[in-house]
Amino acid sequence: MVALEYWAVIVSRSPIDGALLREVAADTLAQIDEKIGAAARAFEAWRNVPAPRRGELVRLWGVVLREEKEALGALVTREAGKIVSEGLGEVQEMIDICDFAVGLSRQLYGLTIASERPQHHLVERWHPLGPVAIITAFNFPVAVFAWNAALALICGDSVIWKPSEKTPLCAQAVMETLKKAARRFGERDVPEGLFACVQGGAEAGGQLAGDPRIALVSATGSTRMGKAVAAEAAKTLKRTLLELGGNAALIAAPSADLDMTVRAVCFSAVGTAGQRCTTLRRLIVHEDIVDALVARLKAAYASLPVGDPRVDGTLVGPLIDEDAFRAMETALAAARRDGGVVHGGERVDVNGAASFYVRPALVEMPAQTDLVRTEVFAPILYVLRYKTLDDAIALLRDVRQGLSSAIFTTDLREAEMFLSAAGSDCGIANVNTGPSGAEIGGAFGGEKETGGGRESGSDAWKAYMRRQTQTVNYGTSLPLAQGVKFDV
């Protein structure tokens, strides 16, 4: 990895109006090193605490989060620019994953396996893994940490978090909620360094990824970042859990319920101002309904309430910063050069020149160009047409990312085809509900350049533990596997 300079200070600005919120001191290389050391020592104590007792810490964290939901949600709105219900929704997601993890703390089940040898038994047992580094993106400044931390903590791991340099205050506030939970748990029972936060930029994330004391690096962000982290982690062959860029598609079939489709498209494409990894970026519409659907979407887009995310009724808040706005402008110019017809996409003045609000863009494209295959983190929805379902699925798959997808159809055969092995190649495939806004109960993540990681529900907990196959001989002879003879 290229040696990067360590930040001295991180400046938090609100995307709502560009106001300076606070400056936060960044961690130095030595401070990060110290925190990793403390996390490694904490792990050695925490792994011996019974898992249901570890679950109690996470249960208390969920209680504190319930108490502080309003305040933390408001901070997410202030620092990341999400509308009020989405800021609160993120905290709700933290609460949900805490509840899930508490139940799981009594269900870290292994297997019993039939042995081929007499008087032997084989079991598969799950042990704590080690210190887990969690690198997160700006667009989920609190929930993604919780997805990882709640599971890692009940699994017996220590956690060390490198939040986005765009949302350092959210991270500080979340750490305070964990500290509060630890005090209620009994501080003496929480080893020093069990959870820590490292403030910094790419260099801090790189240091965590490269340090041999870290057992797993769970990184959420762009594919570019994931490739750098994977290369760094590969030097010590440590485990990675990568949650990277997306390029979600929705297929609107001839039988689709158009009312439902319009609602799903709007939420998925413009919610969080197009700054979700699962944001709908490609609408693949059957030629028979394309005119009707696009006409309805154009009308819906033209009346979308773009504005201050704190104001009741706003559905589209600001982009995170000027870079995001410039990237959107550049993409729309390229789309026009590629023959696209752009509706919307212009800047909207809400709170002055230091903030960047846009009307979401709907772009009718003649084909799926390289531009369409590239994730631009802004509310741009490309519309493509198709004739046969096979063509639509081929378009859906013809991108490097593989996170989320959906089909709107009332035809059972089409729905099943979409869900089959020859259908969507994404980690998430939905029928008659949009690609954005997953529940915590399912495993979350995607294939190809999305990184292959799975977080949150289902059996994602296994990523935070190590599996040990144990063979016990309770007999008085020593038979070898596969009938091998080795008598000495």
The reply on whether position 277 binds ligand NAD by CB under 6 A is: yes
| Segment lying near ligand NAD (by CB under 6 A), choices 197-205, 285-293, 325-333, 340-348 | 197-205
Taking CB atoms, the residue at the shortest distance from ligand NAD is 205
Q: Which of 243, 364, 414, 425 binds ligand NAD (CB under 6 A)?
A: 243
Residue 276, C-beta contacts closer than 8 angstroms, at least 6 positions apart: 139, 246, 436
Q: In the complex, what is the shortest distance from the CB of residue 27 to ligand NAD, in angstroms, rounded to a whole number?
A: 12
| Segment lying near ligand NAD (by CB under 6 A), choices 14-22, 240-248, 362-370, 383-391 | 240-248
> How many residues sit in the footprint of ligand NAD (CB under 6 A)?
29
Q: Which of 59, 162, 282, 385 binds ligand NAD (CB under 6 A)?
A: 162
Q: Which of 131, 246, 309, 379 binds ligand NAD (CB under 6 A)?
A: 246
Q: Is 439 a catalytic residue?
A: no
The reply on whether position 245 binds ligand NAD by CB under 6 A is: yes
Q: Which of 86, 243, 449, 455 is catalytic?
A: 243
The reply on whether position 404 binds ligand NAD by CB under 6 A is: no
The reply on whether position 221 binds ligand NAD by CB under 6 A is: yes
The reply on whether position 301 binds ligand NAD by CB under 6 A is: no
The reply on whether position 205 binds ligand NAD by CB under 6 A is: yes
The reply on whether position 160 binds ligand NAD by CB under 6 A is: no
Q: In the complex, what is the shortest distance from the CB of residue 352 to ligand NAD, in angstroms, rounded to a whole number?
A: 24
| Segment lying near ligand NAD (by CB under 6 A), choices 10-18, 31-39, 160-168, 480-488 | 160-168
The reply on whether position 436 binds ligand NAD by CB under 6 A is: no
Q: Is 243 a catalytic residue?
A: yes
Task: Tell me which residues touch ligand NAD (CB under 6 A).
Answer: 135-140, 162, 164-165, 201-202, 205-206, 209, 220-222, 225, 228-229, 243-246, 277, 375, 377, 403, 450
Show which residues are catalytic. 243, 277
